[in-house]
Amino acid sequence: MKIDPGWPALSSEKAAELAAEGKANVSPSSASKTTKQIWLSNLFTFYNMLNLVLAVLVITTGSYRNMLFMGVVISNFLIGTIQELRAKKTVDSLSVLTAPTARVIRDGKEVVLPCRELVLGDVVLIGAGDQITADATVLNGEARLNESLITGESDAVLKASGDKLFSGSFVISGEAAVVLTAVGAESYAEKLTAEAKKLGTAKSVLKTTIMNIIKTVTVFIVPMGVLTFYNHFAERGLSYADSMIPTVAAMVGMIPDGLYLLTSMSFAVGVVRLAQKRTLTQQLYSLESLARADVLCLDKTGTITSGRMKIKGTVSFCGDDIGALAAEIYTAVPADNATAKAIAEAFGSRNPIEKTARSILPFSSAYKYVAADFGDEGCYMLGAPEFVTGGKFPEIAAKAAEYSADGTRVLALCAGKFDGKLYKAEKPLGFILIEDEIRPNVAETFEYFRKNDVAIKVISGDNPAAVSAIAKKAGVPGAENFADASALSDEELSAAAGKTVVFGRVSPEQKRVIIKALQSGGHTVAMTGDGVNDVLALKDADCSVAMASGAQAASHAAQLVLLDSDFSAMPEVVLEGRRVINNIQRAASIFLVKTIYTFALTAVLLFLPFAYPFAPIQLTLIGVVASGLPGIFLALEPNFNRVPKHFMSTVLKRAIAGAATIFGGVMAVLIIGGKLGLPAEEVSTICTVFTGGASLMTLLCACLPLNKFKAVLICVCTAIFSGAISLFGEIFMLVPLSGTGRTILLCILPFILVQLFLRNSRFGKE
C-alpha cells in the first residue's frame, strides 16, 4: 500500500517520547508467570506451609532429627522452581520468534516493529492474517475483519475510512492504513486476551485428576492429624513428645508433596525438549492434549502442502490472455495470499499498466473469490468455479472437475458486472490451473498416526475432489471418502463428521461444526492450521497447532506453534507428550502408595490399641529412596507407549497393590509384636525395614519391564536404604533387634513379594 504524505505518521523521536510517557502498546499482564511469580507460587503452597507448621511442632518436642523431611521439601521446591524458570527462559526466547509484528509508518517510511513497541497515534498498515493488537480508526483502504472475540459473530465485517477497529479482531482480507487510538491497558486487549485464554485453554485429564487427589487428601489430613494426637495424648496418656512425633509422622506420610515436583518438572522438561526441536509450547498442558488426541483435523494448504503455489497452466474459452486478465485484477486487489502472489509472479509482467478500480472485493474464505470493477474497462471475477459462477454455468463446473481429478486447483475467471451490492458472473473466460507442492515426509507422518489409531480429517476450502486427490498422494488413509461441505447443512455436516475423511469447500464456521461434532462423539480432537480461516476451529479444538509461517492470528490462537512450519515434526511432539504423561502416571502411583497406606494405618489405629509405628525421619528415608529419588529420574526416561484412557484408575491399580501389601504387613507386625510383648522401638524398626523393602518392591513393579537404566536405579535406591539402616540406624531411630524381633522380620519380609502376584491379578493388573 502506498504511503500517503498526509497521514499523521509519527517520527521516531515523538514515538520515543510517547513510550516514555507510558503510551506504548505494552500489556500490563503477561501470558506467562514472571520470575517472581514462579518463586512465590512454588514457595507458598498449602503443603509447604503445612510442612513448615509440622516442622515447628517437631521443634517443640526437641527431636530435631525428625525435621529431616524439611530437607526433602526444600529440595522439591528448588528443583521444581529451577526447572520452571528454565522452561520460562526457553519459551520466552522462542516467543520472540512468533510475537506479533506490525508494519508501521515512522519518519515517513514503512518499518516492521513488534506490536509492543507501537505507541498511541502510530499509523499502521494491516493486511490479511494480521492480528489487531490495539484499538484504531481506518485512515485509508478497506479490509474485512473477524470480530468474533468481541461480538460473538464470526461474519466478516467490512471496515472503511473512519470505521473503528478493536484489538483482538483479525484481518480476513483487504488492506488498510489505520491510526492507533488506544493502546496497552487502555484498549480492549487485556479483556480479549483473558477471553482468548479462557476459550483456548488446553484440557487436562492429568491436571484434573492430580488436583482431585490433592483436594481429597487436603480435606482429611488436618482432622486426621488432630485425632491422632488426641488418641495418643488423651486416650493413651502418652507424653506430649511421644504423641506429637507419631502425629507428625502420620501427616508427613499422607502428604503427596512429590506430585507437585513430579508434574511441574516433567512438563517443564517437555517444554524445553520441544523447544530444542523448534516447537513453541504456549500452554503447558497442550502436550497432554495432543498425546491423547484420537482425531487430527488439518487444513491442506500449509500442512499437507507447503503453501507454495505454482501456476500449472491456463485454459482460455474465448482466446483471451487469461493470465494478463488475472494479473489485472491484482493491480487493484491486494495480493495478500499465496494464490494471488503466484498469479502476480507468473503473469504480472504481462500487464504493467495499473488501472483504477471503481470497486473491489478482496478474497475471503467465506465466498472464495476476488473481484474488481474497472467500469467501462471491464469487471472481472476470479475464484472457485462454483462460487464465481453462482451455479449459472454447470458445464464450467463439469470441466473444472475434470482438471481437479488429479489434485490440480482450478480458478475460474469470469467477466461480470457489479450492481453496487453484488458481483454477478456473465461470461466464463477461462481457467487458471495451480498445483500445490506436497511437503516431504508427510506420508511417513500419516502412517505414524494410522499405526497409533489417530484418525485424520482433512478440512479445506478448496474443491473436494482436488483435496481428495492430494490427500491420496500424501498417504491419508481413506482419502477417497470426501464430501462437499458447501452442499451440506450443519446437521448433515455433523452427521458426516465421523464418517467422512476429506471435506472440501468448508467455510470457517463449518470447521467449527466439524470439530464440535467430533467432540460430541467422545473424541479428543487436535487441529492444525496456518490461516485466518483456521482461527475459530483452533480455539475450539482440544489441542491446536499452528505453523509459524502462517497468519499471525493463527499462531496467537494456537497452543503449540511449529516454528519451522514442518508438519512432519508432529510425531515427535506426540511422543514427548506421551513421555510426560506415562512417566507422571508411573511415578504418581509410587508417590500415592505412601499416601494410601499412611492414611489407612492412621484411620485404623484410631480404633485399635496400638501406637503409630513410624517416626517422621523413618518415613522421610522411605520416601526418598522409594519415590522421591526414583521419581525424578523416571520422569526423564523415554516412555513412548500409548497413553491409557483412564488415568485415575490406572494409577490407583498400581498404587493400591503396594499400599495393601504394606498395610497388611505393618498391621501383622503390630498385632504379633503386641501379643509377644515386643518393645515399641523394635516394632517400629521392623515396620520401617518391612515398609522400605515393600516400597522398593513397589518401585520394581512400576518399572517392569526392566531395562539397564531402571535396574541400576533400583539397585542404587536399595543400596542407599540398606546402607542407611545398617550404618546409620541410630540416626533413623532404629534399634538392634532381639531374637524374637529378628524372627518376626524374617517371617514378614517374604510378604513384600505379594505385590508381584497382585500386579498380575484382577486387582492390580494394568
Residue 283 has pLDDT above 70, yes or no: yes
Query: Tell me, what amino acid is at 247?
Result: T
pLDDT of residue 532: 73
Check whether the bond before 705 is cis (ω within 30° of 0). yes
Mean pLDDT of 679-694: 95
pLDDT of residue 650: 76
Q: Which three cell numbers stand for residue 390?
A: 453462482
- The SS3 of residue 121 is coil
User: Which class would CATH give 12-32+97-193?
Assistant: mainly beta
Of residues 184 and 138, the one with the higher pLDDT is 138
What per-residue confidence (pLDDT) applies to 96?
67
At 296-319, the pLDDT tens digits run 999 887 788 877 788 999 999 988
For residue range 411-440, list pLDDT tens digits in order: 999 999 998 888 999 999 999 999 888 888
pLDDT reported for residue 196: 43
**Under 8 Å between Cβ of 370 and 416:** no
Computed over every residue of the chain, the mean pLDDT equals 86
pLDDT category at 577 given cuts 50, 70, 90 is confident
Exposure of 291 by Cβ count < 10 A (0-12 exposed, 13-18 middle, 19+ buried)? buried
Q: Which of 122, 130, 135, 299 is catalytic?
A: 299
User: Mean pLDDT throughout 364-389?
Assistant: 90
Sheet holding 305-316, edge to edge: 305-316, 423-438, 409-418, 379-383, 369-373, 359-361
Q: Quick check: 11 pLDDT over 50?
A: yes
Look at the chain and count its residues.
Answer: 766
* pLDDT cut 70: percent of the chain above it: 92
Other CB atoms closer than 10 Å to residue 492's CB: what's the count? Answer: 13
Per-residue pLDDT at 567? 86
**Integer Cα distance of 68 and 617 in angstroms:** 6
pLDDT at 508: 82
Angle, CA 383 vertex, CA 424 and CA 461 arms, to 5°: 120
Q: Which set of grid coordinates corresponds to residue 726? A: 545398617
Three-state SS at 557? helix
- 24-47 pLDDT, tens digit per residue, is 988 665 556 788 888 888 888 887
Mean pLDDT of 517-534: 89
> Which of the two residues, 449 and 338, has the higher pLDDT score?
449
Categorize the per-residue pLDDT at 349 as very low, low, confident or very high, splitting at 50, 70 and 90.
Answer: low
Question: What residues does CATH 3.40.1110.10 cover in the chain?
Answer: 313-431
Residue 148 pLDDT level (bands cut at 50, 70, 90):
low
Identify the residue with better confidence: 650 or 171.
171
Nearest residue to 160 via CA among 175, 141, 136: 141
726 — pLDDT class (breaks 50, 70, 90): very high
Of the two residues 640 and 282, the one the predictor is more confident about is 282
Least confident range of 718-722, 728-732, 759-763? 759-763
CA dist 15 and 117 (Å) reads 9
Q: Kindly state the average pLDDT of the residues 108-132.
A: 91
- Backbone phi, psi, residue 606, to 5°: -65, -20
Measured distance CA(682)–CA(684) in Å, rounded: 5
Mean of pLDDT values over 114-143: 90
Alpha carbon 45 to chain centroid, angstroms? 24
| Percent of the chain's residues with pLDDT above 90 | 44
Query: Does residue 304 contact residue 470 with C-beta atoms inside 8 Å?
Result: yes
Residue 286 has pLDDT above 90, yes or no: no
pLDDT of residue 763 exceeding 50: no
The confidence score (pLDDT) of residue 46 equals 80
CB 752 within 8 A of CB 690: yes
Backbone angles phi, psi at 108, to 5 degrees: 80, 5
Q: Which three cell numbers stand for residue 434?
A: 495451480
Task: Of 26-40, 475-489, 705-719, give the lowest mean pLDDT range.
Answer: 26-40
pLDDT at 558 over 90: no
Indicate where the chain has its CATH 2.70.150.10 domain(s): 12-32+97-193
pLDDT at 95 over 60: yes
pLDDT of residue 440: 83
CA distance 293 to 256: 29
**DSSP letters spanning 333-402:** S---SHHHHHHHHHHGGG--SPPPPSEEE---TTT-EEEEE-GGG-EEEEE-HHHHSTTS-HHHHHHHHH
Helix (H) or strand (E) holding 661: helix 647-675
299 belongs to the catalytic site: yes
Q: What is the mean pLDDT of residues 79-83?
A: 81
Task: Give residues with Cβ within 8 angstroms of 585, minimum separation 6.
Answer: 206, 644, 647, 650, 651
Strands 482-484 and 502-504, by their bridges, are parallel
CA 467 to chain centre: 28
The confidence score (pLDDT) of residue 459 equals 93
Give the residue-averaged pLDDT of 718-738.
Answer: 95
56 or 760: which leads in pLDDT: 56
Does position 163 have pLDDT exceeding 50, yes or no? yes
State whether CATH 3.40.1110.10 applies to domain 313-431.
yes
User: Residue 695 in 3-state DSSP?
Assistant: helix
Question: Is residue 225 within a helix (H) or strand (E), and if so which, with residue range?
Answer: helix 205-230
Where are the extended beta strands (E) located within 3-150?
101-106, 109-114, 123-127, 135-146
Residues 190-229: tens digit of each pLDDT: 554 444 444 445 567 777 777 778 778 888 888 999 999 9
Structural element, H or E, at residue 578: helix 570-605
Gap between the Cα atoms of 637 and 735, Å rounded: 38
